[in-house]
Amino acid sequence: MLWTEKYGPKNFEEVLGNIKVKKEIMEWTEEWLKGNPQKCLLLVGPPGTGKTTMAHLAAKEFSEFVELNASDKRSYDIIKNTIGESALSRSLFGEGLKLIILDEVDGIHGTEDRGGTRAIGNIIKDGKHPLIMMANDPYSKRLTSLKTKCNVIKLRKVHTNSIVALLKKICVKEKIEFEEHVLRTLAKQSKGDLRSAINDLEAIAAGKKKVTSEDLELIGKKDEIVNIFDSVRTVLKSRNIHHIKDAMKVEAQPNFILELVAENIPREYEKAEEISKAYEMVSLADTYLGRAFQTRAYTYWKYSYQFMSLGVALAKAETYKKFAKYTTSSVYTKLSKNRAKRDLRDAVAEKIGEKLHSSKKVAREQFPYFEIMFQDDEIAYEIATYFGLDDKEVKLFRSKKIKVKKAKPTRKTSAKSKSNTEKDVKKDSEKYSGKSNKPGISKSSKETSSPSKSDAENSKTPKTRKTVKKAKRSQEKEEKTSKDKKAKSGEESSNSDKKDKQTSLFNF
């Protein structure tokens, strides 16, 4: 039997560390046994902190348990057919409750585990039995949808002194002599992983009655996958070059690490000079990172890592022994909030670019000038109608809506304008039809026959006066004859109409 199983805790009291977590799990178990359903538990913490052990200890209180760990395939169909049916069905032993255990849910990925997270979400929603899940990485994106549905409990690493005490106890029971510094070295190398420390002790003590410092050479240094927040904390807290280099052995993109470091510098550093130097190092790291992405020469990454880790760490004159709460980068949250504004800006730039036959970039460069022009209502109205901008798009340049005052004509002015237009229409029609104001006289004859008043007045000789009088008389005679002809023609037409009319029933 392995020592991890042989000397594993038999109850919650024997579990090392995480006292509050143990109490919370015990209370959760008691509430379920009393008939009070509780939210499912999500135990999050690094390996070797006792997540699986405490889940198995809680399972002893229930009638039975069903477990699905990382070695099993965890696709949608498998989880639904195994865990899903167990979550909905009753226990085999009567009315008791079944505890469902899902280990390493943050490791559900790939084609084999497709749809696994969605299936777990359905089990949480429809399940009638208690559920405990475990995960190593609390910041995994796969846990985002599950965290809101569960009670998340974080487990901390086991303290080095607690690990040393347990290793001494094991050596005493196994009757193995030991040097205390050897056990302490094993505890430190485990980085809080109790299971790893026990396995290392079993490896160096196999077939021996004494453990010495020479036996430590059999065990290499543990290659730990560092949490990204632990890496940032080491960079900002420490000035030890070796510790900082070890902390940067983290599985994360360099730009994400850089954003976290830049976000938390003011939370840790207090002096303005130190903050300034630290951000200079961040700027250099960002420069080399940009070159790496642009040129695809990823050898620049090592320079970027040096600036963002050692450069930022050595920017401080001394370490600060205080608690600082680190947060994730606010860049993505700000970008998501401003997405609507950026979409609106791009839409306006596209409309302006189409009219001006320019690119969006050039159109955006003209926005400051548009803001000035949009201060005037009339100009703003003309620009908005020309580019086809709606009210939302206009708000990009001014806060108020465009108010255009249209002049409404009064009744008097409208009546006058109507009469004037009618007169103009009559004059134009008479002009183009060739008729004068007096009936029966054409314009050409009037111009030729009747001389103007100015000519008559200017003529001083009696002969010209006589000719004018004769012309007037002849004109009057012509008018009379034309009137008589019209009257006669009117009488003839009336007589013809009378003749055409039927006078009686027998007159056809």
Q: Which residues are annotated as a binding site?
A: 45-52
Q: Which of 139, 119, 135 is nearest to 127 (CA)?
A: 119
Distance CA 344, CA 507 (A): 90
User: What percent helix, strand, coil does the chain show, rounded to 5?
Assistant: 60, 5, 35
b vs e for 429-452, b when ≥16 Cβ sit within 10 Å of the residue's Cβ?
eeeeeeeeeeeebeeeeeeeeeee
* Residue that has been written with the tokens 């990382």 in this structure: 70
From residue 31, give the alpha-carbon distance in Å to each of 10, 249, 310, 311. 21, 42, 50, 52
CA 28, 29, 35, 39 torsion-angle sign: positive
Distance CA 400, CA 385 (A): 16
Inter-residue contact 106 to 16 (CB < 8 Å): no
Give the SS3 label for residue 66. Answer: strand
* Residue that has been written with the tokens 């050897």 in this structure: 182
DSSP code of residue 366 = T
Q: Kindly give, in sequence order, each residue whose CB lies less than 8 Å from that of residue 422, ignoring residues fewer than 6 positions away.
A: none
Inter-residue contact 364 to 345 (CB < 8 Å): yes
Identity of residue 53: T
Distance CA 289, CA 258 (A): 10
Q: Which positions make up the binding site for ATP?
A: 45-52
CA-CA-CA-CA torsion for 118, 119, 120, 123, nearest 10 degrees? 130
Q: Kindly give, in sequence order, each residue whose CB lies less than 8 Å from that of residue 468, ignoring residues fewer than 6 positions away.
A: 451, 456, 459
Q: Are strands 41-44 and 151-154 parallel, antiparallel or unpaired?
A: parallel
Inter-residue contact 200 to 167 (CB < 8 Å): no
Read off the tokens for 445. 């004859």
Inter-residue contact 83 to 66 (CB < 8 Å): yes
